[in-house]
Amino acid sequence: MTVTTRFAPSPTGYLHIGGARTALFSYLYAKRHNGTYLLRIEDTDRERSTDEAVQAIFDGLKWLGIESDVNPPVFQTQRYDRYREVIAQMLAAGTAYHCYASKAELDEMRAAQMARKEKPRYDGRWRPEAGKVLPPPPEGVAPVVRFRNPSAGVVVVDDIIKGAISFDNSELDDLIIARGDGNPTYNFCVVVDDWDMGVTHVVRGDDHVNNTPRQINILKALGATPPVYGHVPMILGADGVKLSKRHGAVSVIEYRALGFMPEALLNYLVRLGWSYGDQELFTRDEMIKLFDLERVQKAPARFDMEKAIWVNHQFLKSADPAIVAPEFDWHLRRVGVDPANGPAVVPVIEAQRERCKTLVEMAEKSKFFYAELDGYNDKDAAKHLGADSALLLDELRAALANLGDWTTLTLHETVNGFAEAKGLGLGKIAQPIRVAIAGMAITPPIDVTLFLLGRERTLARLQAAVAYSAAKVGGG
RNA sequence: GCUCCUAUCGUCUAGAGGCCUAGGACGGAGCCCUCUCAAGGCUUAAACCCGGGUUCGAAUCCCGGUAGGAGCGCCA
């Protein structure tokens, strides 16, 4: 049997980081076993589901590169006929029954149970039982349909991550599978869908473990073989509290804005709750080859932004710059610069990636290649642009203006030779140059920077810096 | 309250009864290198929740406690 997994988000908001990891695990497991990975949109809550959220989930998954093997994905709202059909079957078979208890009645029942310190649950008042006489259905009440859960025995969930978990059927009440309006509910749709779609492994958040025994019971009532379950623990914020807005970035797409490469985020996520010995860095192929649900951690993990950024940096440093280019391009535009108005993006990435942990940082530090300076950094100018540097920069400008070939090699020789001739350490001249051409004292090696910036811009900026320094000195 | 789950450095983790004087990584501290910022190299501090068992031997197995978490909807 071929392995089939699915990721089944409900479109009530953006794709959050925990969901992304669940999707990743699900995807990886399927790929690892040459299986199929599916996306299913659980939109049975008509009130809260929105088209924008559906789109946000698609966008997030697409950016991460976790794409469904079957398109378009299944939307539960398109399967209502099928759900109704199964419900009718269950009603006929006696594995489900109508319940006429009103919401108010149920609320009252739960309140009373809580008051008695009991676990709140449906008391089975409309459950047919041998020898039991049910009251006549009240007038004008649209009944819900409840699953007739076995009242005795135990259900064992053989969880691939958590191990065997057993539940007493006596602890499980008869859950509603169809609402008063006839629409099916989540726990029921999941079961039917996983069954129809041939899902062999259900990978989902561990907030679902308590639903699992009931789902298994429904599957059994339907004569289906339950899938293998794997419940992955949740991701916590750095403070150990459930991830939320106040932790900053929760939505996957926010990580793009923060300057992460999708592959790097995936790499961080896969190592959060899963490990392969001491290995920290994985390519996508390695993840697929090595991933294993059995090695997923049972306890929740905290999201550590520092480490995520480190992983991103490692990726930036070692990746093929051509892969980084489109994202970098996107970030350059985002900081208000036109990538066409300067050097090719690939060599800039190569020059910058050692010193930039995120693409936001890289874009900020590379702006000067693509747009005119909007002034100098105050501190750097104060420190490096003065009377003496004005003289040096002016002389250097003249030397560079006469340079034949504008290459990193000739630039290196010229600048180093210049410093040597002046009896200065390279630092004494490199820093003023940096501030002059980049507006700040942080750039890649000076030869590479000058080369990428080009002759025209370099000479113009040196001249401007000389004028600036002179004016500053002149003005006292 | 009830049911279920979890527990190794600050964080992510290795650890399948002796290989543990508990390893790696991020972050921290220090040193080296250096044209800036970085990167890199080296060194270093830092953990088995507690208590009982089982065993010649327990971070590893069992029980209890404690602490955290999840669920208990005509939400998903």
CB atoms within 10 A of CB A201: 20
Token readout for A380 is 């750097």
Does residue A297 lie within 7 Å of nucleic acid chain B, judged by its CB? yes
* Amino acid in position A6: R
For residues A122 and A105, give the distance between their C-alpha atoms in angstroms, rounded to a whole number.
11
For residue A278, say whether its CB is under 7 Å from any atom of strand B: yes
Relative to beta strand A163-168, strand A154-159 is antiparallel
Q: Please report, rounded to whole angstroms, the spatial distance between the CA atom of protein residue A399 and the C1' atom of nucleotide B54.
A: 84
End-to-end Cα, chain A, rounded Å = 83
> pLDDT of A340-371, one tens digit each?
999 999 999 999 999 999 999 999 999 999 99
Type of residue numbered A55 = Q
For residue A300, whether the previous peptide bond is cis, meaning omega lies within 30 degrees of 0, is no
Active-site position among A103, A117, A132, A245: A245
**pLDDT level of residue A473 (50, 70, 90 thresholds):** low
Q: What percent of chain A clears pLDDT 70, i.e. is strictly above it?
A: 99
Q: Where are the alpha helices (DSSP H) in A197-320?
A: 212-221, 252-257, 262-271, 284-290, 305-318
- Measured CA to C1', what is the nucleotide nearest A163? B5
Is the N-terminal amide bond of A150 cis, ω within 30° of 0? Answer: no
Q: Tell me what pLDDT residue A250 has.
A: 86
Name the residues in A217-236 having a C-beta closer than 7 Å to nucleic acid strand B. 234, 236
pLDDT digits over A227-269, tens only? 999 999 999 998 888 887 777 778 999 999 999 999 999 999 9
| A457-470 pLDDT tens trace | 999 999 999 998 87
The answer to whether some atom of strand B lies closer than 7 Å to the beta carbon of A185 is: yes
Residue pair A461/A373 in contact (Cβ under 8 Å)? The answer is: yes
What values do phi and psi take at A281, rounded to 5?
A: -110, 135
User: How is chain A split among helix, strand and coil, in percent rounded to 5?
Assistant: 50, 10, 35
Q: Which nucleotides of B are covered by protein (CB under 7 A)?
A: 1-8, 10-16, 23-27, 35-39, 68-76
State pLDDT tens for residues A410-423.
999 999 999 999 98
- Name the closest nucleotide to A107, judged by C1' and CA: B73
Q: Give the CA-to-C1' distance from A329 to B34 in angstroms.
A: 31
Residue A233 tokens, joined: 């623990």
Are A60 and A20 in contact by the 8 Å Cβ rule? The answer is: yes
For the cut 90, the answer to whether the pLDDT of residue A321 exceeds it is yes
Q: pLDDT tens digit string along A100-156?
A: 999 999 999 999 998 888 889 999 899 998 888 888 888 888 999 999 999 999 999
> Structure tokens of A65?
């590169």
Indicate if A245 belongs to the active site.
yes
Reported ipTM: the value is: 0.95
- Closest by CA position to A197, among listed A35, A34, A411: A35
Residues A203-223 have pLDDT tens digits of 999 999 999 999 999 999 999
SS3 state at A331: helix
**Residue for token pair 């076995």:** A150
- Integer Rg of chain A from CA: 32
More confident residue, A373 or A139: A373
The phi-psi region of residue A117 (left if phi > 0; otherwise alpha if psi is between -120 and 50; otherwise beta) is left
Read off the pLDDT of each residue in A382-405 and give the average, rounded to a whole number.
91
Positions 316-375 of A with beta carbon below 7 A from strand B are: 317, 354-355
Instruction: Measure, in angstroms, how far nucleotide B51 C1' is from residue A294 CA.
Output: 31
Helix (H) or strand (E) holding A53: helix A51-64
Measure the CA dihedral A235/A240/A245/A250, to 10°.
-30
Q: What's residue A474's pLDDT?
A: 64
Which residue has 């961080």 as its token pair?
A268
A263 and A308 Cβ atoms separated by less than 8 Å = no
**Can you tell me the mean pLDDT for A266-282?**
95
Percentage of residues in chain A with pLDDT exceeding 90?
Answer: 83
Which band of pLDDT confidence, cut at 50, 70 and 90, is reported for residue A476? very low
Say if residues A194 and A202 touch (Cβ distance below 8 Å).
yes
Beta strand A96-99 pairing with A144-147: antiparallel
Q: Which of residues 418-437 of A touch strand B (CB under 7 A)?
A: 425-427, 430-431, 434
**Which residues of A in 84-143 have their CB below 7 Å from strand B's atoms?**
101-103, 106, 110, 114, 117-121
CA–CA dist A268, A358 (Å, integer): 14
Separation between Cα atoms, residue A276 and residue A296, nearest integer Å: 10
Confidence at residue A389, expressed as pLDDT on a 0 to 100 scale: 87
Nucleotide with smallest C1' distance to residue A180 CA: B74
At A284, list the tokens: 């996508």
Task: Report residue A21 as tokens.
Answer: 């990891």
Phi, psi of A306, deg, nearest 5 = -60, -45
Q: Which residue is nearest to nucleotide B34 (CA to C1')?
A: A427
Coil, helix or strand at residue A426: helix
